[in-house]
């Protein structure tokens, strides 16, 4: 197949964007980026398997299967998926209580829920995540990655207990980490033929193996040798009792997996200048987890650290993710002995550079210039991400941001008051009228002391919901009780239709605004339109 034919074939199966044909140089970059990611995936997958309380191969199989399927069918080329710590910490109690077979069943159900989220296009709600929450997510995840690497500075003592490195071992490890980071930082200034993270790993590995240095290696974590993942139906009873056990875990895992995946999708899109399909990513993640559950994997989602490695190494197409998954499988099947000799210091150095590249350093300088509420949300999400988990942090951040927005708009409502030559009093409402500002709206009026004719002008306001309609009805009722005339001006046509009690008070005009009210609601009877 010629190179033009290869590029056309790649586009037909969506391996690469149209502006990135898979010619010779691009193929080399994508494959080497995939190799770099695969090397970094090994210790991560093993470590997360230990966290979840399962065999290392369960984590490695998840990294291979989830990584491969999402690379081919996911919503954004360049993303890397696999077993993650955010999911592992939820799985540990399930495995400890009910065993690994229940975990496999949970992963299958988790995938089904994620597919449903994609089919019903729930992924679009990721657009509701404010920018301060995104900054907190990125910073918190960078800190989590950093803390995970700090844990690698422990070694097994004579009694088998894990202790912190000291003396010459610590000095050597720190030196190798620094060497890896230096190679990654300096090499791109001279050449981009080989991805800098891969070069750093190879240089340090050659030094440690060639000089037979006593430095912890991948094999010290666990053996990664294994066979091809085999089809396996989870050995959990198919009944309601099992469903009651696994459903809560499946819902939590599905939510965490989708939130982390969709936020990573947005982040990679910002870095590469492209857009991704949120619903497509949901379906791909779900399908990957369903298949993984039937092949003995612990499930997974997008990995921001490995995605950053891929992007920094030049990976921009689906081929990089596919190559990473296939390289990982090759390590398991054929090259476990070689991969187990790679020093952990090299991989720690790569991840340290990922931390430096992931953390939004500019957020530290803009904190003094942005509103205090935004700065607070960024810091809050960062802290919750570190001390709890990503899903809780994002939910907390969105809720706090929504409350801040609602409060800011609630206190904005006011009225510019003046009297006409005819003796009528005009209240020109400024600011949105919704559930948060309804009470403040009612306090603007003085039915007892106002003149016989009162005009309420909504030209610079907007009626947003049923609470706003109810507030208008309540004000109209007060003026009616005082025997005074109230006129409502510049309301939308939908407000005309919905304001039943005050409908005769609405003054229509050619410059009335056009907008819809959030809830079609009869404020007099309390029945939704079309209801009984």
Q: CB within 8 A of 501, min separation 6: which ones?
A: 473, 476, 477, 523, 524
Q: CB within 8 A of 144, min separation 6: which ones?
A: 85, 385, 386
Residue with tokens 């060497």: 179
197 falls within a domain:
yes
Task: Give pLDDT, residue 5.
Answer: 52
Burial classification of residue 504, based on how many CB atoms lie within 10 Å of its CB (0-12 exposed, 13-18 middle, 19 or more buried): exposed
Looking at the fold, whether 434 and 291 belong to one and the same domain comes out as: no
391 falls within a domain:
no
Q: Which of 364, 394, 421 is the last residue of a domain?
A: 364
**Domain total for the chain?**
2
223 falls within a domain:
yes
Task: Give pLDDT, residue 4.
Answer: 47
Looking at the fold, whether 262 and 119 belong to one and the same domain comes out as: yes
Question: Please, what is the end-to-end C-alpha distance for the chain in angstroms?
Answer: 67
92 falls within a domain:
yes
Task: Give pLDDT, residue 19.
Answer: 55
Q: CB within 8 A of 226, min separation 6: which ones?
A: 57, 60, 61, 332, 333, 336
The conformation of residue 231, written as its DSSP 8-state character, comes to P
Provide the residue-wise pLDDT of the chain in tens; the chain has 532 residues: 444 454 454 444 455 565 566 677 889 999 999 999 999 999 889 988 988 999 999 999 999 999 999 999 999 898 999 999 889 988 989 999 999 999 999 999 999 999 999 999 998 888 888 989 989 988 998 898 888 888 888 887 777 777 888 888 899 999 999 999 999 999 999 988 889 999 999 999 999 999 999 899 999 888 999 999 999 999 999 999 999 999 999 999 999 999 999 989 988 888 877 667 899 999 999 999 999 999 999 999 999 889 999 998 999 899 999 999 999 999 999 999 999 999 999 999 998 998 898 898 988 888 888 899 999 999 999 999 898 877 789 889 999 999 998 888 888 899 999 999 999 999 999 999 999 999 999 999 999 999 999 999 999 998 988 899 899 989 999 999 999 999 999 888 778 777 755 555 777 777 777 766 754 433 333 433 333 3
Looking at the fold, whether 354 and 441 belong to one and the same domain comes out as: no
Looking at the fold, whether 436 and 334 belong to one and the same domain comes out as: no
140 falls within a domain:
yes
Task: Give pLDDT, residue 507.
Answer: 74
16 falls within a domain:
no
4 falls within a domain:
no
Looking at the fold, whether 224 and 162 belong to one and the same domain comes out as: yes
Looking at the fold, whether 359 and 452 belong to one and the same domain comes out as: no
Looking at the fold, whether 111 and 181 belong to one and the same domain comes out as: yes
Q: Which of 326, 346, 364 is the last residue of a domain?
A: 364
For residue 340, give the nearest of 228, 223, 199, 226 by alpha carbon.
223
Length of the chain: 532
Looking at the fold, whether 339 and 455 belong to one and the same domain comes out as: no
The 3-class secondary structure across 362-382, one letter per residue, is HHHHHCCCCCHHHHHHHHHHH
Task: Give pLDDT, residue 6.
Answer: 45
> DSSP string spanning 414-476?
EEEEEE-TTS-EEEEEEEEESTTTHHHHHTT--TTTS-SEEEEEEEEEEE-SHHHHHHHHHHH
Q: Which of 306, 341, 364 is the last residue of a domain?
A: 364
385 falls within a domain:
no
The parent domain of residue 427 ranges over: 411-528
| The pairing of beta strand 162-164 with beta strand 301-302 | unpaired
Looking at the fold, whether 162 and 268 belong to one and the same domain comes out as: yes
Q: CB within 8 A of 340, min separation 6: which ones?
A: 217, 218, 219, 223, 224
Looking at the fold, whether 182 and 112 belong to one and the same domain comes out as: yes
Q: What is the CATH number of the domain that holds 449?
A: 3.30.750.24
- What residues does 431 pair with on adjacent strands? 461
Say what the pTM is.
0.79
Looking at the fold, whether 192 and 328 belong to one and the same domain comes out as: yes
Looking at the fold, whether 347 and 418 belong to one and the same domain comes out as: no
Q: Alpha-carbon distance 403 to 514, whole Å?
A: 27
């Amino acid at each position: 197949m010629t190179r033009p034919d290869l590029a056309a074939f790649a586009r037909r199966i969506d391996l690469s964007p149209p502006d990135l044909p898979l010619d010779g140089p691009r193929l080399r970059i994508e494959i080497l980026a995939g190799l770099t990611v695969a090397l970094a995936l090994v210790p991560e997958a093993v470590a997360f398997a230990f966290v979840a309380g399962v065999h290392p191969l369960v984590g490695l199989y998840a990294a291979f299967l989830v990584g491969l399927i999402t690379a081919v069918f996911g919503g954004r080329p360049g993303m890397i998926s696999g077993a993650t710590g955010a999911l592992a910490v939820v799985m540990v109690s399930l495995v400890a209580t009910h065993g690994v077979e229940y975990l496999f069943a949970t992963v299958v159900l988790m995938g089904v829920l994620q597919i449903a989220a994609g089919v019903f296009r729930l992924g679009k709600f990721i657009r509701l995540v404010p920018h301060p929450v995104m900054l907190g997510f990125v910073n918190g995840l960078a800190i989590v990655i950093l803390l995970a690497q700090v844990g690698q500075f422990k070694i097994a003592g004579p009694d088998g207990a894990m202790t912190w490195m000291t003396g010459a071992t610590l000095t050597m490890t720190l030196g190798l980490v620094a060497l890896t980071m230096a190679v990654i930082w300096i090499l791109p200034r001279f050449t981009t033929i080989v991805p800098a993270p891969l070069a750093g790993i190879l240089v340090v590995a050659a030094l440690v193996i060639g000089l037979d240095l006593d430095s912890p290696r991948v094999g010290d974590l666990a053996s990664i040798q294994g066979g091809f993942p085999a089809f396996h139906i989870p050995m959990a009873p198919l009944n309601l009792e099992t469903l009651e056990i696994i459903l809560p875990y499946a819902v939590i895992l599905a939510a965490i997996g989708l939130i982390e995946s969709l936020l990573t999708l947005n982040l990679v899109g910002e870095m590469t200048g492209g857009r991704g399909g949120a619903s497509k990513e949901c379906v791909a993640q779900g399908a990957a987890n369903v298949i993984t559950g039937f092949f003995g994997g612990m499930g997974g989602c997008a990995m921001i650290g490995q995605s950053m490695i891929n992007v920094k190494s030049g990976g921009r197409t689906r081929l990089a993710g596919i190559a990473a998954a296939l390289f990982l499988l090759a390590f398991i099947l054929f090259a476990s002995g070689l991969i187990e000799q790679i020093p952990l210091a090299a991989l720690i150095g790569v991840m340290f550079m990922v931390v430096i590249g992931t953390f939004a350093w500019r957020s530290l300088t803009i904190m003094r210039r942005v509103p205090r509420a935004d700065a607070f949300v960024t810091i809050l999400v960062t802290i919750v991400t570190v001390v709890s988990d990503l899903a809780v942090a994002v939910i907390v951040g969105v809720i706090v941001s929504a409350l801040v927005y609602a409060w800011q708009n609630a206190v904005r409502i006011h009225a510019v008051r003046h009297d006409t030559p005819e003796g009528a009093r005009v209240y020109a409402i400024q600011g949105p009228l919704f559930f948060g500002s309804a009470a403040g709206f009612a306090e603007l009026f003085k039915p007892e002391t106002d003149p016989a004719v009162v005009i309420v002008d909504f030209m610079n306001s907007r009626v947003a919901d049923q609470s706003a309609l109810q507030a208008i009805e309540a004000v109209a009722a007060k003026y009616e009780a005082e025997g005074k005339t109230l006129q409502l001006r510049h309301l939308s046509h939908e407000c005309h239709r919905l304001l039943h009690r005050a409908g005769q008070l609405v003054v229509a005009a050619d410059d009335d605004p056009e907008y819809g009210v959030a809830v079609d609601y009869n404020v007099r009877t309390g029945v939704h339109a079309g209801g009984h």
